[in-house]
Amino acid sequence: MHTLSLRELADGLAKARFSSEELTRHFLARIAAHNPALNAYITVLEEQALAGARAADKQRSSGDVHPLTGVPFAHKDIFCTEGVRTSCGSKMLDNFIAPYNATVVEKMAAAGMINLGKTNMDEFAMGSSNETSFYGPVRNPWDTNCVPGGSSGGSAAAVAAGLAPAATGTDTGGSIRQPSALCNLTGLKPTYGRVSRYGMIAFASSLDQAGPMARTAEDAALMLQVMAGFDEKDSTSIDCTVPDYSASLNNSLKGKVIGVPSEFFAEGLSDAVASRTRAALSEYEKMGAVLKDISLPHSHLSIPCYYVIAPAEASTNLSRYDGVRYGHRCDNPLDLADLYTRTREEGFGDEVKRRILVGTYALSAGFYDAYYRKAQRIRRLIKNDFTEAFKSVDIIAGPTSPSPAFALGEKVDDPLTMYLEDMYTIAVNLAGVPALSIPAGMVDNKPIGLQLIGRDFAEADILNAAHQFQLQTDWHKQFAPAFA
Ligand code: GLN
């Protein structure tokens, strides 16, 4: 059952081939057997999941239900979940029991989906390898000596190893797409404002978006359907109709123009990933799409721009962890200043501290114009690149990540090299447009991803293109051999 897609599971439940309780027990047993080796979950919600599954079975037997009723999944531990520890991968929130549900959590529950547990992640979603988690690193099911990517590394590993059929993730600079690429999943970052951020612990508020991580584009469409929509509790949520994402999956790609930015194939990309990505792109030509060389001339500025804006917003967002209201508090503070200082010294890890320092510096009076304002201007140029490109193309495509999964420990002491992991994903967050990563082949027996970027609110277009690719290829069906 753990190799089936969400769609197949929903089908099986509808035809009573198995019950939600059986399904949930199966995944809980897999978690018990394999999580010790992978560390994909921080919290497993065994009793709650089984109770939910029994309720779902009852509901299903007594009438019309949402198609995903009784289908298990996992939440990244960044989504506030009422009555459940919500740690955000940090010691700071190790003791935090959320008093309310994030909107995404509410929506999944309202659809009758069963939350198996909360997945491991880089601390406060800062990282590309899941090595900054207070709960220890996650291992990649394709090669347990390698990282699963980050920051949604626990979600990626859980789905790739069959410890959940799908999971939620969040993406501020690549954290859904890059781990999806490294673990052979389909992961989608929606347009900024498409999915509510209410109750999703903030990292960089102008960039954060939640999205689905699943095996297939079909599954991602089903899950996005549940997650998306206007929320008055999020001031940046956009009130525009949510289309039926499954309805357009089978549209023909004949005549569609796919822009291939030269900057995505320049220095920094491994040769093997480049040629595999080009081979994947040629599939689109076979389907009748047209590949067009384009340029996103400011892409080389996206990493420096992001590493001013994201830390600046993070330093502001993380100022709330002061030991007063919730979360970790140091023992026996001498006075208020000591309480703040020691609480934060003890509660945050090194990468989080680095971001707070950089962000506070960039926002400080003497440097604001030189860094923060400058970065905002560059952000506009990056957005304009996409607007310009989408005048002549329907979709932009390229690699998700410059190389396949790397070894644990390989980049962790070299933040600048680690930051380059997101060289193709970050511009998308700065521009706010939607993008996804799909399995696109193997390099050194490890999966790589193809990234498809769409116009604002054109999630349906990139899901359509992803699904058509998956009808022609089998990469997404490959399952991490050690966990099959
Ligand atoms: N790897 C990037 C960072 O460390 C992006 C993280 C994310 O998308 N949450 O900030």
φ, ψ for residue 48, nearest 5 deg:
-60, -40
360: CA distance to ligand 1 center in Å?
18
For the segment 98-124, the average pLDDT, to the nearest whole number, is 98
Q: Which residues are bridge partners to 117 per DSSP?
A: 44
186 in contact with ligand 1, CB cutoff 6 A: no
The active-site residue, picked from 5, 76, 302, 446, is: 76
Q: pLDDT (tens digit, 9 = 90+) per residue, 237-261?
A: 999 999 999 999 999 999 999 999 9
Q: Is residue 375 part of a domain?
A: no
Token duo for residue 323 = 């030991």
Q: Please tell me the predicted confidence (pLDDT) of residue 133.
A: 98
Residue labelled with tokens 């979940």: 81
Q: What percent of the chain has pLDDT over 70?
A: 100
Q: Is residue 332 part of a domain?
A: no
* Residue (of 340, 343, 315, 342) closest to 328 by Cα position: 343
Q: Please tell me the predicted confidence (pLDDT) of residue 365.
A: 86
Q: pLDDT (tens digit, 9 = 90+) per residue, 370-390?
A: 999 999 999 999 999 999 999
156 in contact with ligand 1, CB cutoff 6 A: no
Q: In whole angstroms, give the CA distance from residue 92 to residue 384.
A: 38
Q: pLDDT (tens digit, 9 = 90+) per residue, 158-206?
A: 999 999 999 999 999 999 999 999 999 999 999 999 999 999 999 999 9
Q: Please tell me the predicted confidence (pLDDT) of residue 271.
A: 95
Token duo for residue 151 = 């920051």
Q: Please tell me the predicted confidence (pLDDT) of residue 482.
A: 96
Nearest atom in ligand 1 to the alpha carbon of residue 422 is: 1
Q: Please tell me the predicted confidence (pLDDT) of residue 278.
A: 98
Per-residue b or e along 285-315, where b marks 16 or more CB atoms closer than 10 Å to that residue's CB: eeeebebeebebbbbebbbebbbbbbbbbbb
Q: Is residue 180 part of a domain?
A: yes
Q: Please tell me the predicted confidence (pLDDT) of residue 406.
A: 97
Active site residue 364: no
Active site residue 76: yes
140 in contact with ligand 1, CB cutoff 6 A: no
Q: Is residue 426 part of a domain?
A: no
Q: What is the CB-side half-sphere exposure of residue 481 using CA atoms within 13 A?
A: 4
What contacts 467, CB < 8 A, 6 or more positions away? 216, 217, 218, 221, 249, 250
Residue range(s) defining the domain that contains residue 451: 6-256+435-483
Binning pLDDT at 50, 70 and 90, where does residue 57 land? very high
Q: Please tell me the predicted confidence (pLDDT) of residue 347.
A: 98
Token duo for residue 224 = 């996005």
Q: Please tell me the predicted confidence (pLDDT) of residue 318.
A: 98
Q: pLDDT (tens digit, 9 = 90+) per residue, 275-303?
A: 999 999 999 999 999 999 999 999 999 99
173 in contact with ligand 1, CB cutoff 6 A: yes
What contacts 445, CB < 8 A, 6 or more positions away? 142, 143
Nearest atom in ligand 1 to the alpha carbon of residue 306 is: 10
Q: Is residue 122 part of a domain?
A: yes
The active-site residue, picked from 5, 133, 175, 196, is: 175
Number of domains in the chain: 1
Q: pLDDT (tens digit, 9 = 90+) per residue, 15-38?
A: 999 999 999 999 999 999 999 999
Nearest atom in ligand 1 to the alpha carbon of residue 307 is: 10
Q: pLDDT (tens digit, 9 = 90+) per residue, 215-230?
A: 999 999 999 999 999 9
The active-site residue, picked from 151, 180, 196, 403, is: 151
Q: What is the mean pLDDT of the chain?
A: 97
Does position 396 have pLDDT exceeding 90, yes or no? yes
Q: Is residue 59 part of a domain?
A: yes
Active site residue 151: yes
218 in contact with ligand 1, CB cutoff 6 A: no
315: CA distance to ligand 1 center in Å?
14
233: CA distance to ligand 1 center in Å?
24
Binning pLDDT at 50, 70 and 90, where does residue 63 land? confident
Q: Is residue 271 part of a domain?
A: no
Nearest atom in ligand 1 to the alpha carbon of residue 125 is: 9
Nearest atom in ligand 1 to the alpha carbon of residue 429 is: 8
Q: Is residue 184 part of a domain?
A: yes
Q: Please tell me the predicted confidence (pLDDT) of residue 402.
A: 96
Binning pLDDT at 50, 70 and 90, where does residue 263 land? very high
CATH code at position 108: 3.90.1300.10
CB 159, CB 167: distance < 8 Å: yes
